[in-house]
Structure 1
Amino acid sequence: MTIESESDHILFLSRDLLDDIELQRLEADKLLLKCSRLARLSGTDEIKQWIKLEMEGYNGSKELSDHYMSRTGRWTNFAERKGYWGPLAQIEENIRVQKLRIDVSKVESLSGDGLIGAMRMNRDAQQALANGISSMVAIRSRVLNMLHTFVAGVYYERQFAKVAESTFEQYKKDVDALIAAHAGEVLEKLPSVVARLQEGNDEAVSQALTTCRRIIDSFADAIFPPQAGTYNLGGNDLSLDANKHQNRINVYVAERTDSKSRRTRIRQNLSNLYDRVSTGVHTDVTAEEAFSLFLNVYLFLGEILHLGVAQTKDSVMA
């Protein structure tokens, strides 16, 4: 796979790490180093610190350390501050060593007066080793599950973002082509809105919102030019004069879809958008909200123009 960007690298790394964990391809120290790299690129500060604890060992004086000692089941006696403080790699090595000790301590044959006592002591020792192994295996399992949750979260978030980006990019191409074909003047205004929003100050935001309102007005003029008379829509006679931009857009929509619920939703969205971009010129609107409004305007134009495309297709099929 060719890694073209940091986002692609994170996606590739997280996918590879999922395989590492699920297929048990790496030992603890190598796995944590790889997870640490992913955390530096896409993890929270808490995740970074936790992975560091798993790599270097736990510090009993830190609140975060105590929290993850509990989450990973490392305490043997919390009140006395006793537990498995070592790093995950040490836990894994201890599991290996304890299993070897059990194998070595197995007794195939004993004889003599101490037979029963020796067998009992040997059995007790093996049980103690087995209990210790069980505790450490549980710790390892919890740590791996937590790592898997973190890595899977990053992977699916990036995967969704990539799909969403690709989907939006394709949609943008379609919308840009439709705007260019039906309302070319609107397309020319879009870059100026983005430029103003990037400045981020109050005056620039106000100018961006003013342009958004003008975009809606220009769009209405392009798809449904002003005309004399009225149009009866839902029992209401709508004026189609030059200053009735929303009326003309709503009539355009009504002529291209039979869905009453869709017409209602579009009408409400248009009304809310127009009110907000108009009100925002005179009141405080954050740059973040202004950007959301701009995107909403853009998507709104795309939906309206796609109605015309759908109608054309239906006519051809008929």
Structure 2
Amino acid sequence: MQSKTTQEAIIVLKESIKELESSKASVLVGIQKLLRVSKMINDESCIIWCEIQMGNTKYIKPLENYIEILVATNKSKTKINIKKLTEVREELKKLQVDIDEHCSLEELNVKANKSGGGYINIGFIEERYNDLVRTKKGNDGTFYKNNLNNHLNYVRKTAHEKASLLYNTLAFSDAPQSAFDILKIAIDDKLLDINPELAEKLMQAFKSVSTDNPEEWSHALTSCRRLIENLAAELSPATDELYNGRSLGRNQYINRVWAFMDKSISSESNRDLAKTHVDFVGSYLQRLHKLTNKGVHAQLSRAEAIKAVFHIYLICASILEYHDEPQKGVSEKMNIHTASLDELEAVLDINRNMAKEIVKMRVAKGRLSLDDISTIKGVGAKTISKFQDTVSFD
């Protein structure tokens, strides 16, 4: 669910976009609304860009200096000019001005033209242009109508792009994530009930593909393959017998998952769909496994790794509704980082949802402390005392 701030920001962005899409509306008003939203969501880069368009002297003087020195340096690359250029860039950097974002070639070309308004407040440029249009003049001796119009068109276009990007980010970015989260949370919970160790491995795999590290993507794929192997052992133990012409040996784990679904799903259409999906994922994982074994991580895209993890979740979604929950034993002593879901629940005398939250937290954080546990909803002084007496955090 979107926060109140996000909802308000979306409304203001709609107003900004509407203002910027009309050639008769005010560019200044559109930017003012964009600036308001940028401050609401703490988008520092967009704040600075808007402030520059509105003539904030904090940025204007160093930017005008930057253009002047840049032109001089392009004409003559003397040590003095290069030194000055380096110094003014450092000054801009301290102001958090991004050369690529706020000083693009198109931006500099527009702002360098004094007859088009330069770094003057966009509201003033808009007024001067409207005056020239109203008086049917081409220029007033300082500003030229065509140059002012080019400047306004550039700022309108760029502001519209920024407002549209922010709108799409705020209004739509949560939808796919929320849809997958619904499935992921349900599968994590069900798998935690059936086999907490497998559940933790799957959650770790999902965490790995959420990073920017190709090595982690490779590890996620390995985890997916092993998870299917372990899931096959849980569902259908290895045997020397054949089932519908398929070998069900220890290495034929995909066949054993396939056989389990064939026996367990009564609906023919659902059964055929699930079996086809298992076959596809099996060949898919084998192909990716061969790739990662060669060590060619550069050829392994993040998208491939994410798809593999998503497919595992989808297979689990098909399997778990046909699997009976087994009974597990508990241990009197435990380590927080290796304890099973049932051990957490029984030894600490906590409900299953709280135990699941502990498992999810240790997947997310890696190592836990008593302070981490205290942040879980429902954990009070009594539970903390039990942790101190019965749990090791080593």
Rounded to whole Å, the distance in 2 between the matches of 1:217 and 1:12 is: 49
Change (3 A) 1:272 1:186: same
Q: Report the counterpart of residue 115 of structure 1 in structure 2.
A: none
Rounded to whole Å, the distance in 2 between the matches of 1:290 and 1:69 is: 36
How many pairs are equivalent? 268
Deviation at 1:203, TM superposition (A): 8.9
Change (3 A) 1:220 1:179: same
Deviation at 1:156, TM superposition (A): 0.9
Rounded to whole Å, the distance in 2 between the matches of 1:202 and 1:96 is: 55
Q: What is the aligned-residue identity percentage?
A: 18
Q: Report the counterpart of residue 306 of structure 1 in structure 2.
A: 317
Change (3 A) 1:207 1:134: closer
Q: Report the counterpart of residue 220 of structure 1 in structure 2.
A: 232
Rounded to whole Å, the distance in 1 between the matches of 2:126 and 2:279 is: 63
Mapping for residues 65-104 of structure 1, pairs under 5 Å: 67-68=106-107, 82-85=115-118, 86-95=120-129
TM-score with structure 2 setting the length: 0.50
For the 8 Å contact 1:227–1:240, the answer to whether it is kept is yes
Moved more, 184-193 or 221-230: 184-193
The answer on 1:276 being equivalent to 2:263 is no
For the 8 Å contact 2:239–2:250, the answer to whether it is kept is yes
For the 8 Å contact 1:209–1:278, the answer to whether it is kept is no
Mapping for residues 107-118 of structure 1, pairs under 5 Å: none
TM-score with structure 1 setting the length: 0.60
The letter for the 2-side match of 1:276 is: L
Work out which of the residue numbers 34, 37, 51 in structure 1 matches 2:36.
34
For the 8 Å contact 1:193–1:208, the answer to whether it is kept is yes
Q: What RMSD over aligned residues (CA atoms) do the two structures have, in Å?
A: 4.9
Deviation at 1:162, TM superposition (A): 1.1
Rounded to whole Å, the distance in 1 between the matches of 2:2 and 2:221 is: 41
Mapping for residues 1-318 of structure 1, pairs under 5 Å: 3=3, 9=6, 12-13=8-9, 15-22=11-18, 27=29, 30-31=32-33, 33-34=35-36, 37=39, 41=43, 51=50, 53-56=52-55, 59=64, 61=68, 64=103, 67-68=106-107, 82-85=115-118, 86-95=120-129, 126-128=135-137, 136=148, 139-140=151-152, 142-190=154-202, 210-232=222-244, 237-253=245-261, 256=265, 258=269, 263-264=275-276, 266-277=278-289, 280=292, 283=295, 285=297, 293=305, 295-308=306-319
For the 8 Å contact 1:182–1:223, the answer to whether it is kept is no
Deviation at 1:261, TM superposition (A): 7.5
Deviation at 1:186, TM superposition (A): 1.0
Rounded to whole Å, the distance in 2 between the matches of 1:199 and 1:154 is: 23
Change (3 A) 1:199 1:143: closer
Partner deviation per Cα, 1:234-255 (whole Å, 9 max, x = no partner):
xxx2101233102112334556
Q: Report the counterpart of residue 123 of structure 1 in structure 2.
A: none
Rounded to whole Å, the distance in 2 between the matches of 1:192 and 1:311 is: 24
Rounded to whole Å, the distance in 1 between the matches of 2:126 and 2:213 is: 55
Partner deviation per Cα, 1:102-136 (whole Å, 9 max, x = no partner):
6xxxxxxxxxxxxxxxxxxxxxxx32279977875
Gaps of 5+ in 2: 20-24, 72-102, 324-394
Rounded to whole Å, the distance in 1 between the matches of 2:322 and 2:172 is: 31
